[in-house]
Structure 1
Amino acid sequence: MTMFARILAAPLVVAAPLLVAAIAAGPAQADEKPRHGMSMYGELKYPPDFKHFEYANPAAPKGGTVRLAAIGTYDTLNPFTLKGVPAAGAGLLFQTLTANSGDEAFSEYGIVAESFIVPEDRSWVAFNLRPEAKFNDGTPITPDDLIFTLETLKTKGAPFYRTYYADVAKGEVTGPRQVRFTFRAADNPELPLIVGQMPILPRAYWANREFDRTTLEAPLGSGPYVVESVDAGRSITYKRIENHWSDQVPALKGQYNFARIRYDYYRDSTVALEAFKGGEYDFRQENVAKDWATGYDAPAVTEGLIKREEIANEQPTGMQGFVFNIRRPIFADRRVRDAIAHAFDFEWTNKTLFYGAYARTRSYFSNSELASSGLPGPAELAILEPFRGQVPDEVFTKEYVPPSTDGSGNLRDNLRVAFDQLKAAGWVIKDRRLVHEKTGEAMSFEILLSQPTWERIALPFAKNLERLGIQARVRTVDSAQYQKRMETFDYDVTVEVFGQSLSPGNEQRDMWSSAAAKVEGSRNTIGVADPVVDKLIELVINAPDRQALVDRTRALDRVLLWGHYAIPNWHSRTWRIAYWDRFARPPVTAKYSLGFLATWWIDPAKESALRARRPNRSN
């Protein structure tokens, strides 16, 4: 399932005349019935005649301005290429064929597509386009636009798209409003849903423009918002289109209710938090445990003008960790990576810096049934057995557990294990420095950060490494420089987040495959290039049913964990949010999506009350 933001989503209403035409129009067989939705495995929650998602309020009023914060800067409004730093919210300009349901593991319903046809073997998919679907200049969305989008993203888009759509062989027009995408093989059941996630680009608009250049000209899209104003690198404002064609699509009913959305840019999260408490913007999702515990001691919170909540969710948390660039020779040996991991004291960090707010991450698919645990069971062993001798023996014999401590700050036992690992890998202490016994090279590397907030975590880690004779320099750079260095794999150690969904698939190639390791801008920043991992990725992609997907993903998880590519950090099972008390939201929150921009709205009564109590608050 996709890792890029799903900005717009919706199911489809099926018009009988269109369906008859669709069946007759192209190469679809008579027994391949048009569908109102697709699910990776299992049944759909919402029937063909559903009116709206249950976590959206179709009567929600539309209007008002919401102000949000972004960190760093931006220099392009095109979010689909590697060049430049895209503006926050740029995805609001674009519409997709289908939308994910926020309360199903992996189900999609149509937005631009009114219906779709998928054969039993999922070797192709045909989309019937909604006749009212238009770009925001009034021109209709056509099958030609979809084919142009696929070709453009595969040839000029960011590496993610090239990998994600690699198995889509071709697109062809098969009717006045029908387009069919054929796949390279019938062993990739996720592909019909992946194609449905494709943002749609207008062929005519891009005919005389260079797609792979940065631009501050707002590109033409078909989403419910257009760019109203741009203050390059400092702010951007989006304006909702009144009576947008998608407003009556069932899965968009009651969604995207703010008349304007403005992002203001701040230097770092510390400055942004102070601005929030001062009323400079409206909503904040807090990711720093210390700030959540101590940073909201402000009059507006005490007076009830700012509300704080923790909302439980069932969203997979993936892996966040200190990751190694294993292209660097000093990190090529997994014993070295394991040794360095023993110098990170999570328990002390969690107690001292995070007020005990977090759980330790132990899987690349944490907080989901896809996470491995214990020893591999029979189904996992059947998958892994052909690779015995090609993967670490621990994959078969031990449960992966990251190094731990008693939280006192005493790392003596862990450092003793680390020294043993380093010695086995050929590293020895000379003149209080760790050097390689053959080359004399000292172990020295940089921990690259993009936010000063991380320094309080990385500096104690570096101090522990110093006790091993390792010189670790902590360096924080601005967001643009950080992004460029990550795209070109110009780092030693950094903090990375590998988000996951409940239905992993084709995106795993971009994260872990040998091919992606060679492509600058891919998500394989670590540089994993292991034939076994490549084979396991394909097994995940080709899983024939849900249980096979779970077993294969767990097997992949074990191999990644025992590769010691990352030093696992932590995760939370709740969304921590703070907001000025001017909003309302449906009583039901989606299991897998907070949905602030999609399903919340400004409550006129709360807005008036807030203005009366805080008339000088910025708006």
Structure 2
Amino acid sequence: MMRLATFISGLFLISHGALAQDHALAMHGAPQLLPDFKNYNYASPNALQGRTLRQAQIGSFDSLNPFSIRGNSAKNIRERVFESLLDRHYDEPFALYGLLAEKVTADDDRSSVTFTIHRQAKFADGQPVTAADVAFSWQLLRDQGRPNHRYYYDQVETLTTPNNRTVTFTFKPSPPDRELPLIIGLMPIMPKHIYGERDIQAASLNLPLGSGPYEITEVTPGAQVRFEKRADYWADKLPHNLGRHNFAVILEDYYRDEATAFEAFKAGDLDIWFESNPQRWTTGYNFPAAIDGRIVKENITLGTPSGLRAFVMNTRRPLLANRAIRKAMDLTFDFQWINKILYGDVYRRTDSYFGNTELSASGKPMSDGEAELLSRSLIPRTELELGYKAPESDGTGRDRTKRTEAMQLLEQAGFEMLGNSLISPNGQKVELEILVQRRSDERLALSWRRMLAGIGIDLKVRLIDSSQYQRRLQSFDFDLISYNYYASLSPGNEQIYYWGSEAADTPGSRNYAGIKDFAVDTAATTLTRAESIEDFVTAARALDRALMSGRYFIPLYHNPVQWVARWHYVEHPSRHSAYGARLDTWWMNHDN
């Protein structure tokens, strides 16, 4: 906690005048690395090159187009095949360094940003990256891209290309948004001569082509993707790429479930395993390769917020629009029992979206600044002042006190029990369905199902495949889902896409709960306008307070470390980024 507070606060101690440097751009203050930096400090310039890494993905895919909401795209195409004008340094909350753009300059008020394209930047087919490609990518994604692309890129008022290597974006004057130059800096750049002939909205198995370090050379639809390192990759010797992109080939095999994939890892068919099952982590590594040291287990410390893994309740459904039933359902979730019985007491209960950082509102009184931002909230002022506190049970899985409290809430809201069933105020039996796509989530949801039965709610748990799950999410066709909202050290525009009122009516957005609260919109927007640490923290806490007090979620749990198991010949640098393991900095050493 101390490291994170210092990490975030330190950003604002540097004057904004330092932004005159043109090699990088930071959300607040100056970038950490100077123009003559040698490499990212979580990468090793001496990393070995070559070999094949075999990695698992769970589920399936029917598309190689990461820019469409149609179909289910294969993983990691955006990161390995395509590049942006700027590259993110993962040991800072939000700082970007020149990649396709060798220079970047932004006005002090961030009303415009200018990029100078690197003279050597080339796509995989040898064609140079030009200002026309940047302009094409912006216009294509603004008009036909994913909902988040359309939202962000529509904030550009004008784009000018005075020459083949220079692009200037000028943003709409209201509202001011200090994050937009960085958002544009992370825009994927596509070759106009290729994607001008393709349907960017189609679920397609056409091989993608970008300027990134890898290209896809072979595909088995739904089963495997082969990424090969480009021998002619134009940016291989740039400082931020030294010690990165070390594998010659990355094979990503798709498995129906984690149990099958883990057996493949044990057998040596996979080289690395990012563990998500606590019971397996604590008791499942008693096989020969793990016992004799050929497989190495590591706990990698994370320097990021907890995020929000939760059961998300869709308030578009009339029944779940009722705050009383949402609060009652939260009261029934016996985390103490679940953590002990299902997970061996390894998790911590989540009670904040920004948990473990100073951005969290948990346990803190509401400040005057927060109160002002939340003054027009739909949530009662008394509940905002109290904030969210996760229920604590007796750990039996059948806490009568919590059940009684839940029933009192429901009765006050007009619900009643008829036999073993809860009846809504309009006379209907309360029946709900939760969608899950993993066996582990199914097991958790089934445990909660039994707890909800104690207050008469019939919860059906439905396990569906990843493609169907994504389709249902994109159209908001569900009562409840299991979902993990990631949180960064520098929350910004994505928060509007996650929680904003407009996003609630935008298919494909991540406002799965259907939140429509002017105060949430205000807090999320204020995050992108903050010029001081006080304003930034106040906005984050106000957002956190409204999200958690609104009872849109059943907060689950989080892990303060990252669990990674690897075969002994897979190696990594001596330190990791604030965001945990970065696989693009790892390498193979078969002499180990």
TM over 0.5: yes
Q: Which of 267, 274, 291 is residue 285 of structure 1 equivalent to?
A: 274
**Residues 509-529 of structure 1: per-residue CA shift (max 9 Å, x gap):** 111111111111101111111
Residue identity in the other structure for 2:471: K
The answer to whether the 8 Å contact 1:57/1:599 transfers is yes
Please tell me whether residue 35 in structure 1 is matched to residue 19 in structure 2: no
Please tell me whether residue 348 in structure 1 is matched to residue 337 in structure 2: yes
Residue identity in the other structure for 2:306: T
**Paired residue secondary structure (1:486):** helix
**Residues 457-479 of structure 1: per-residue CA shift (max 9 Å, x gap):** 11121011111111111110011
Residue identity in the other structure for 1:138: G
Match of 1:542 in 2: 529
Q: Which of 206, 212, 215 is residue 226 of structure 1 equivalent to?
A: 215
Question: Per-residue deviation at 1:385?
Answer: 6.2
RMSD of aligned alpha carbons: 1.6
Q: Which of 209, 212, 229 is residue 240 of structure 1 equivalent to?
A: 229
Moved more, 320-329 or 362-371: 362-371
The answer to whether the 8 Å contact 2:307/2:487 transfers is yes
Match of 1:268 in 2: 257
Distance 1:385 1:133 in 2: 46
Match of 2:436 in 1: 449
The answer to whether the 8 Å contact 2:414/2:424 transfers is yes
Number of equivalent positions:
573
The answer to whether the 8 Å contact 2:433/2:461 transfers is yes
**Paired residue secondary structure (1:419):** helix
Question: Per-residue deviation at 1:373?
Answer: 2.3
Q: Which of 554, 568, 571 is residue 581 of structure 1 equivalent to?
A: 568
Match of 2:130 in 1: 142
Residue identity in the other structure for 1:431: G
The answer to whether the 8 Å contact 1:392/1:562 transfers is no
**Residues 398-430 of structure 1: per-residue CA shift (max 9 Å, x gap):** 132111212122311111111011112111011
Residue identity in the other structure for 2:450: K
Residue identity in the other structure for 1:123: S
Moved more, 304-313 or 392-401: 392-401
> TM-score, normalized by length of structure 2?
0.94
Distance 1:67 1:205 in 2: 30
Question: Per-residue deviation at 1:102?
Answer: 1.3
Match of 1:393 in 2: 381
Match of 1:108 in 2: 96
**Residues 239-295 of structure 1: per-residue CA shift (max 9 Å, x gap):** 001241111111111100000000111110111111111111110110111111122
Residue identity in the other structure for 1:325: N
- 1:214-613 alignment runs, 5 A limit: 214-384=203-373, 386-387=375-376, 390-437=378-425, 439-596=426-583, 598-606=584-592
The answer to whether the 8 Å contact 1:376/1:396 transfers is no
Distance 2:366 2:157 in 1: 37
Distance 1:50 1:375 in 2: 40
Distance 2:198 2:465 in 1: 30
Distance 1:198 1:471 in 2: 45
**Paired residue secondary structure (1:238):** strand
Match of 2:189 in 1: 200
**Residues 99-141 of structure 1: per-residue CA shift (max 9 Å, x gap):** 1111111111011010111111110100001000010000010
Moved more, 366-375 or 491-500: 366-375
Residue identity in the other structure for 1:340: M
Q: Which of 63, 68, 91 is residue 81 of structure 1 equivalent to?
A: 68
The answer to whether the 8 Å contact 1:395/1:559 transfers is no
Match of 2:198 in 1: 209
Residue identity in the other structure for 2:313: F
Moved more, 120-129 or 409-418: 409-418
Question: Per-residue deviation at 1:303?
Answer: 1.4
**Paired residue secondary structure (1:284):** strand
Distance 2:369 2:349 in 1: 24
The answer to whether the 8 Å contact 2:81/2:215 transfers is yes
**Paired residue secondary structure (1:102):** coil
Residue identity in the other structure for 1:599: T
Question: Per-residue deviation at 1:209?
Answer: 1.7
Distance 1:275 1:32 in 2: 49
Question: Per-residue deviation at 1:311?
Answer: 1.1
The answer to whether the 8 Å contact 1:318/1:367 transfers is no
Match of 1:185 in 2: 173
Match of 2:77 in 1: 90
Distance 1:415 1:384 in 2: 34
Q: In structure 2, do the counterparts of structure 1 residues 452 and 381 end up closer, same or farther at CA, with 3 Å as the change threshold?
A: closer
The answer to whether the 8 Å contact 1:383/1:552 transfers is no
Residue identity in the other structure for 2:276: N
Match of 1:3 in 2: none
Residue identity in the other structure for 1:82: I
Distance 1:310 1:229 in 2: 34
Match of 1:161 in 2: 149
**Residues 566-602 of structure 1: per-residue CA shift (max 9 Å, x gap):** 0100001111000111122211211123111x11111
Distance 2:122 2:540 in 1: 39
Identical pairs, percent? 38
Distance 1:468 1:519 in 2: 34
Please tell me whether residue 131 in structure 1 is matched to residue 119 in structure 2: yes
Question: Per-residue deviation at 1:384?
Answer: 3.9
Residue identity in the other structure for 1:603: N
**Residues 153-207 of structure 1: per-residue CA shift (max 9 Å, x gap):** 1111111211233322232202331100111127211111111111111111012
The answer to whether the 8 Å contact 2:302/2:560 transfers is yes
The answer to whether the 8 Å contact 1:226/1:238 transfers is yes
The answer to whether the 8 Å contact 1:224/1:240 transfers is yes
Match of 1:66 in 2: 53
Distance 2:375 2:56 in 1: 50
Question: Per-residue deviation at 1:62?
Answer: 1.2
**Residues 74-121 of structure 1: per-residue CA shift (max 9 Å, x gap):** 111110110111112212111111111111111110110101111111
Question: Per-residue deviation at 1:605?
Answer: 1.1
Question: Per-residue deviation at 1:391?
Answer: 2.7
> TM-score, normalized by length of structure 1?
0.90
The answer to whether the 8 Å contact 1:433/1:469 transfers is yes
Structure 2 portions without partners, runs of 5+? 1-17
Distance 2:471 2:384 in 1: 39
Distance 1:493 1:33 in 2: 48
The answer to whether the 8 Å contact 1:168/1:182 transfers is yes
Residue identity in the other structure for 2:444: I
**Paired residue secondary structure (1:448):** strand
Residue identity in the other structure for 1:176: N
**Paired residue secondary structure (2:219):** strand
**Paired residue secondary structure (2:332):** coil
Residue identity in the other structure for 1:169: E
**Residues 214-250 of structure 1: per-residue CA shift (max 9 Å, x gap):** 1112121000101111111111101001241111111
Match of 1:614 in 2: none
The answer to whether the 8 Å contact 1:164/1:510 transfers is no
Moved more, 312-321 or 480-489: 312-321
